[in-house]
Chains A and B, each alone.
Chain A
Amino acid sequence: MKYLVLLYQDETIWPALDDAERQEYMEAHMAFDRAVSEGATTMLGGEALGETDTATTLRHDDDDRLVLTDGPFAETTEQLGGYYLVEAADLDVMTTIAQELPHGYTVEIRPVVDMGPVFDEVPAARSDSPAWA
């Protein structure tokens, strides 16, 4: 199964950390990365995200006109700050490995839905470049 691992934390915490504390976070990320590649699991991707004040939210209004808004979709006390995409046999395997991630995070694990043959048939869907590129 594929899991999207969403990392949440109050985004004011990171800028306030000193170098030693940041180093601990980085080491935890590296430990997670190592655990994923050493186990019966595969790292499919992962990135850190810019802070929510750099987010742009797009929607269409009732007349189907584009509306762009400065800021995230939802205001929350903890913000999405990064993600990983991991292939793992099951939820127990995933949650065991996810314990390597920095303990200051709230980690949400979401299964990726297998959309079946419709999407599998699009050859570019699984390559690194987007399907339209």
Chain B
Amino acid sequence: MTVGPGSGDGLAPIERVLRKEWGRLLALLLAQYRRLDLAEDALADAFATAAERWPRDGMPSAPAAWLTAARRRVLDRLRSEAVAARKAPVLVVDARVQAEAERAMVDPGDLLEDERLRLVMLTTHPALAPEAASALTLRLVLGVPTSDIARLFLVGEATMAARLTRARKKLVAAGIPYAVPDASALPGRLEGVVQVAYLGFTAGYAPGSGPDAVRAELAGEAVRLGAVLHELLPEEPLPALLLALMLLQHSRRAARTDGDGLVLLPDQDRGRWRHDEIGSALTLLTPFVDGTRSIPAGIGRSYYLQSLIAAEHATARTAEETRWDRIAALYAELEDHTGSPVVRLNRAVAVAEAEGPRAGLELLDGLEAQLPGNHRLPATRAELLRRAGENKAAAAAYEVAIGLCSNEIEQRHLERRRAELPPATPTRGQEWSVPGPGKDRT
């Protein structure tokens, strides 16, 4: 089973259509009734009924039918609540937005796109903790089930349900507006939006103890979110760059694992990469590369450089043909831009490939202070020392890395590498010791 971005191609057809329509319909219900709890429950009910009837009665004529069903449920609930003394708190929705939603209910048209953007701005608001915002966005905008979101973020379903509930409560209680910021504030907010979306993506690739492959598929939902953002804001560079980056990284998912665990980048069957997705990403990147579109500062520039690095890997026909010189130069630029020690670590790997292990090792000097407790640093050092023929030092570095590593799959891999250390002669291997989430190793 694979879940492709923008399609959910591992899902039943009904699920796919439901999830595609979820965000639009929820956004409309919210705008009119301002009650997150009611809108979500009613829509879920309407979808459950639709899923039940679908096989019997065939494809429903239009999502408008679900909307009608959901509206009826909301109204029923509101009526039964009217007798209660205290009204439940409602979202802050501009009167004009509410009126537009009412019109759209009767005649769903162009307004729908805008409604979904409002929903995204709500669920990615900076007043929410980033991880909670990421989970809530997947739930409310894409209709991803709570159990799937829990698996993606490596927490129990009850924990995730509680986290979502708390985030929903905050949205309403704190008065977070259901509105798109004006043109001057939008670019600033978008930095936060894309980071929230990317957080969901990297969660799917973060090493965990469970079946990693499944979680990588769930990361496809975050790619779908990136596609939605790009669709809503095609003129904005940040969503385009984010989508390109995620597509490139996600395109390798099927080749990343086999029966035994992780398959590292040079050993991956490039025929199993999703070349259609790589193509889409390159199309997104082209105008930035040829200067038609300008590259934004800040996080956008970082996504751009990371995308170019991923694109170098994606377009190399074989591992041997990888242009490590270009990748090393891009990492140098990225390090300049971010000042991140993790980027430096990746740069050292690329430089080692391009210029030899000694050059790579030089770049690792002094990184320990900046990356204390990080097992990837000693693991990388061990690989480079091995290539330089310093097997004794390599064995010691593997020891440190194994001690710091908390992920079983990676630990086993490191132990295997240490056991493989030849007694004397240096080897020229292309194998890398540790997968990095969202990086260009696997």
Shortest distance from the beta carbon of A96 to any chain B beta carbon, whole Å = 8
Residues of the A chain whose Cβ atoms lie less than 8 Å from the Cβ of B187: none
Interface presence of A26 (CB below 8 A): no
* CB contact between A117 and one of B86, B125, B175 (< 8 Å): that residue: B86
Nearest chain A CB to B289's CB is how many angstroms away? 36
Specify which of A90, A109, A111, A116 is in contact with B177 (CB 8 Å cutoff): A90
On whether the beta carbons of B175 and A116 are closer than 8 Å, the reply is: no
- Pair A94/B175 contact, Cβ less than 8 Å: yes
Instruction: Among B175, B176, B179, find the residue whose CB has the most chain A CB atoms closer than 10 A.
Output: B175
Q: Whose C-beta in chain A lies nearest to the C-beta of B91?
A: A90
Q: Number of residue pairs across A and B with beta carbons under 8 Å?
A: 37
CA distance A111 to B177 in the complex (A): 13
Q: Which of A95-115 contact B (CB under 8 A)?
A: 95, 109, 111, 113-114
Q: A1-B175, A111-B174, A111-B175 are in contact. Are A91 and B127 (CB under 8 A)?
A: yes
B89 CB within 8 Å of chain A: yes
Measured CA separation A93–B175 after assembly (Å): 10
**Complex contact B177–A89 (CB within 8 A):** yes
> In angstroms, how far is the closest chain A Cβ from the Cβ of B34?
12
A residues within 8 A CB of B86?
Answer: 116-117
In the assembly, what is the distance between CA of A111 and CA of B181, in Å? 21
B405 at the interface (CB under 8 A from A): no
Complex CA gap A116/B89 in Å reads 10
Query: Chain A 110-133 against B: per-residue CB contact (8 Å), 1 yes, 0 no?
Result: 010110110000000000000000
Q: Report if B87 contacts A (CB, 8 A).
A: yes
Contacts of B179 in A (CB 8 A): 90, 92
- Bound together, the chains give a CA A109 to CA B85 distance in angstroms of 28
Closest to B173 in A: A111
B contact residues around A3 at 8 Å (CB): 175
Residues of chain A contacted by B181 (CB below 8 angstroms): 92
Bound Cα distance A111, B173 (Å)? 7
A90 x B176 contact (CB < 8 A): yes
Interface size on A, residues (CB 8 A): 16
Task: Let me know if B154 is at the binding interface, CB within 8 A.
Answer: no
A101 to B176, CA, bound (A): 20
B92's contact among A89, A95, A113, A114, by CB below 8 Å, is which?
Answer: A89
Contact, CB under 8 Å: A116 / B174? no
Least Cβ–Cβ distance between B238 and chain A, in angstroms: 19
- Residues 141-180 of B at the A interface (beta carbon under 8 Å): 173-177, 179
Per a CB cutoff under 8 Å, which of B85, B89, B127, B174 touches A114?
Answer: B89
Closest to A114 in B: B89
Chain B residue contacts of A90, Cβ below 8 A = 92, 175-177, 179
Task: State the CA gap A88–B181 with chains docked (Å).
Answer: 16
- In the complex, what distance in Å separates the CA atom of A94 from the CA atom of B127? 12
Contact A1 B92 (CB under 8 A): yes
Q: B176: which A residues are within 8 A, CB to CB?
A: 90-92
A90 to B174, CA, bound (A): 8
Contacts of B85 in A (CB 8 A): 116-117
A95 to chain B, nearest CB (A): 8
Chain A 33-51, CB-CB to B under 8 Å as 1, else 0, gives: 0000000000000000000
Q: How far is the CB of B127 from chain A (nearest CB, A)?
A: 6
Q: How far is the CA of A82 from the CA of B85 in the complex (A)?
A: 35
Least CB separation from A93: chain B residue: B177
Q: Is the Cβ of A91 less than 8 Å from the Cβ of B177?
A: yes
Binary per-residue interface labels of chain B (115-129) against chain A in the complex, 1 for a CB within 8 Å, 0 otherwise: 000000000010100
State which residues 167-214 of B face A: CB under 8 Å: 173-177, 179, 181
Inter-chain contacts of A114 with B (CB < 8 A):
89
Residues on the A chain within 8 Å of B173, using CB: 111, 113
- B60-97 CB mask vs A (1 if < 8 Å, else 0) is 00000000000000000000000001110100100000
- Cα(A111)–Cα(B169), bound, Å: 12
- The distance in angstroms between the C-alpha atoms of A91 and B172, with both chains bound, is 10
Within A1-45, the residues touching B (CB, 8 Å) are: 1, 3
A114 to B177 Cα, complex, angstroms: 17
Chain B residues, Cβ within 8 Å of A113: 173
CA distance A37 to B173 in the complex (A): 24
CA–CA, A76 and B295, complex, Å:
44
A89-B173 Cα distance, complex, nearest whole Å = 13
Assembled-state Cα–Cα distance A74/B87 (Å): 34
Complex: A113 Cα to B89 Cα, angstroms: 9
- What is the bound-complex CA distance between A93 and B174, given in angstroms? 12
Q: Which 4 A-B pairs have the closest CB atoms?
A: A90-B177, A90-B92, A1-B175, A116-B86
For this complex, 13 residue pairs linking A to B, each with C-beta atoms less than 8 Å apart, are: A88-B175, A89-B177, A90-B175, A90-B177, A90-B179, A91-B92, A92-B177, A92-B181, A95-B127, A109-B174, A111-B173, A117-B85, A117-B86
Given contacts A90-B179, A93-B177, A116-B85, 17 further A-B contacts (CB under 8 A): A1-B92, A3-B175, A88-B175, A90-B175, A90-B176, A90-B177, A91-B125, A91-B127, A91-B174, A91-B175, A91-B177, A92-B179, A109-B174, A111-B173, A111-B174, A114-B89, A117-B86
